[in-house]
Amino acid sequence: MLDRVFRIGLLFDFYGALLTDKQQYCLEMHFLRDLSLSEIADELSVSRQAVHDISRRAEQILEEYEAKLKLVERYQRERNLLGEIYSIINSLPPEAAELPQIHLTLEKLEQLLD
């Protein structure tokens, strides 16, 4: 379940603006603010089933965008590579780590990874 919430959150970060306002609201309330479908239904004055359908359709749309654009996959791959580069540079002998270029590179990699 946590993996699903994390995935939807990541997809929402990348593609959420492409959803309708109602789809954005339902996903944000359900996954990011942890409201139940019933609570969201009460706020929107619709049935719980309607909220479920809106949320499922929005999730499906996000997955379709990712299947076509692969921005999340690229983001995760690049973060992993940056982490590996950081580890390699950080494991250099102490005398190499003192070089200004190495120190600056590590700082820039840390900024990218934060």
Rg for the chain, CA atoms, rounded: 20
Are 17 and 35 members of one domain? yes
- pLDDT at residue 65, as a whole number: 98
Are 58 and 79 members of one domain? no
Question: What's the structural domain count of the chain?
Answer: 2
Give the side-chain half-sphere CA count within 13 A for 49. Answer: 0
User: What is the mean predicted confidence (pLDDT) over 86-91?
Assistant: 84
Are 52 and 24 members of one domain? yes
Are 59 and 83 members of one domain? no
| pLDDT at residue 46 is higher than 70 | yes
In this prediction, residue 26 has a pLDDT band, given cuts at 50, 70 and 90, of very high
Distance from chain centroid for Cα 46: 28
Q: Is the dihedral of CA 16, 17, 18, 23 positive or negative?
A: positive
- pLDDT at residue 97, as a whole number: 65
User: What is the mean predicted confidence (pLDDT) over 88-109?
Assistant: 79
Instruction: Write out the residue range of the structural domain in which residue 65 sits.
Output: 2-69
| pLDDT at residue 103 is higher than 90 | no
